[in-house]
């Protein structure tokens, strides 16, 4: 099996961001265009091998992200709207532009450019900073030494190669894979790898990954929902420079007057949680269960697995609708059922499938 490397920091985000991981794990996007001179023909297997060999990128560029998920517009004021822990939910609605800088596994920076503010996530070695210029607040965390060599990434705005790795991991006999017509992304010719679920029970219609014809780096990812002509979610480079950015880009200091909060990071050591010994039995109580397979699968989280309530809960409450025994977050690509007893069910399947899975537990 082709091994695709994932680079993401999502495991280091606060517990409040867990629902974002559920959603972002199946969402992505692209920006196809005429490719100009054709690339040498490749089979799907050859394109997957090209992706697996692209290595850890050193680059700088601009990303454009757009979402047509059917989520309601989130309020701009009210409880929880100024919290950095809710930023990921805002990123799932509307268009966003981000500047991205990466140099190996331990240096990365993402600047999400809002109309009147900037959100910044920076990693330099084991130091991680999150900054929001809207309220001049910063959060700092230090990744444990035992995490050296673990995957890394930035904030809830992932780059196309990070999202592509999640989606390509879904390839199994339930997926049809082909190479479509060449595309051109950020001025670079790319292969267009198209994944189509064979099942009619999933909300996902197709996934397209634009793969740089020279380096194998995914340049864009696009996912379409059934019954929709336009992509439900896409992210793509609009400009890209390969090569290491200036080292100063990864050095962050809070601006004068900024409010700084230290974030506690759990150590992911065997048999430990947050530095305290934990029995295997306790660990297993929070282990998610998966029913079904492939694109039809449903993930069930036991009570407490999503972490304690937070400011994000208030916004999430407004994005959900009441259903029997809980609340439902419904989008064009993924449904999340949060039950009153604390259990959570999620999947790229109709809501009825989640309700049926919940009734069987």
Supply the DSSP string of 80-130, one letter for each residue.
TTT-GGGHHHHTTSS-EEEEEEEESTTEEEEEEE-SS-EEEEEEETTEEEE
Q: Compute mean pLDDT per 10 residues along the chain, 361 residues long, and list them.
A: 34 34 35 59 96 88 89 50 49 80 92 83 93 92 66 56 90 94 96 95 96 96 93 95 95 93 68 40 65 90 67 63 91 92 93 92 63
The full set of domains in the chain, from first to last, is 10-262 (2.50.20.10), 272-360 (no CATH)
Two structure tokens written together for 254: 């809070």
Q: Decide: helix, strand or coil at residue 99.
A: strand
If you count them, how many residues does the chain have?
361
Cβ atoms of residues 184 and 219 within 8 Å = no
Q: Which residues pair with 176 in a beta bridge?
A: 196
The pairing of beta strand 335-339 with beta strand 326-330: antiparallel
What pLDDT, on a 0 to 100 scale, did the predictor assign at position 37?
67
What pLDDT, on a 0 to 100 scale, did the predictor assign at position 54?
86
Instruction: Tell me how far the alpha carbon of residue 65 is from its chain's centroid.
Output: 12
What pLDDT, on a 0 to 100 scale, did the predictor assign at position 353?
94
Query: Phi and psi for 10 in degrees, rounded to 5?
Result: -55, -25
The pairing of beta strand 137-142 with beta strand 259-262: parallel
Cβ atoms of residues 242 and 58 within 8 Å = yes
What pLDDT, on a 0 to 100 scale, did the predictor assign at position 94?
67
Q: Give the residue among 177, 158, 313 at the shortest CA–CA distance from 220.
A: 158
Two structure tokens written together for 199: 């099942």
**Position of tokens 């920091």?**
9
Q: Decide: helix, strand or coil at residue 336.
A: strand
Cβ atoms of residues 63 and 199 within 8 Å = no
pTM of the model: 0.77
Residue 189 sits at the vertex; the CA angle it makes with 205 and 244, to the nearest 5 degrees, is: 105
> How far apart are alpha carbons 99 and 35 in whole angstroms?
24
What pLDDT, on a 0 to 100 scale, did the predictor assign at position 224?
95
Two structure tokens written together for 279: 């029995």
């Amino acid at each position: 099996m082709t091994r695709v490397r994932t680079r993401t920091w999502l495991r280091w985000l606060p517990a409040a961001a867990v629902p974002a991981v559920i959603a972002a794990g199946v969402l992505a996007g692209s920006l196809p265009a005429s490719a100009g001179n054709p690339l040498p023909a490749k089979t799907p297997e050859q394109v997957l091998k090209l992706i697996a060999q692209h290595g850890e990128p050193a680059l700088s560029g601009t990303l454009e992200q757009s979402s047509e998920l059917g989520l309601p517009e989130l309020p701009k004021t009210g409880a929880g709207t100024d919290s950095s822990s809710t930023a990921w939910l805002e990123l799932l609605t509307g268009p966003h532009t981000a500047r991205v800088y990466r140099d190996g596994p331990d240096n990365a920076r993402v600047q999400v450019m809002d109309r009147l503010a900037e959100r910044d996530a920076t990693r330099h070695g084991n130091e991680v900073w999150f900054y929001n210029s809207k309220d001049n607040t910063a959060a700092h965390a230090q990744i444990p030494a035992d995490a050296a060599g673990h995957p890394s990434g930035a904030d809830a705005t992932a780059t196309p190669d990070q999202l592509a790795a999640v989606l390509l991991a879904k390839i199994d006999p339930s997926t049809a894979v082909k190479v479509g017509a060449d595309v051109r992304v950020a001025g670079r010719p790319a292969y267009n790898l198209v994944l189509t679920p064979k099942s009619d029970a999933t909300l996902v219609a197709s996934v397209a990954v634009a793969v740089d014809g020279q380096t194998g780096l995914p340049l864009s990812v696009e996912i379409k929902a059934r019954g929709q002509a336009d992509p439900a979610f896409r992210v793509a480079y609009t400009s890209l420079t390969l090569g290491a950015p200036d080292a100063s880009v990864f050095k962050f200091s809070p601006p004068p007057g900024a409010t700084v909060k230290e974030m506690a990071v759990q150590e992911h050591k065997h048999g430990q949680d947050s530095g305290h010994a934990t029995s295997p039995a306790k660990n297993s109580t929070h282990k998610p269960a998966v029913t079904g397979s492939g694109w039809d699968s449903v993930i069930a989280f036991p009570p407490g697995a999503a972490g304690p309530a937070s400011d994000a809960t208030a916004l999430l409450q407004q994005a959900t609708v009441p259903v029997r025994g809980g609340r439902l977050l419904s989008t064009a690509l993924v449904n999340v059922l949060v039950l009153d007893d604390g259990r959570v069910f999620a999947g790229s399947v109709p809501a009825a499938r989640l309700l049926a899975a919940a009734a069987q537990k």
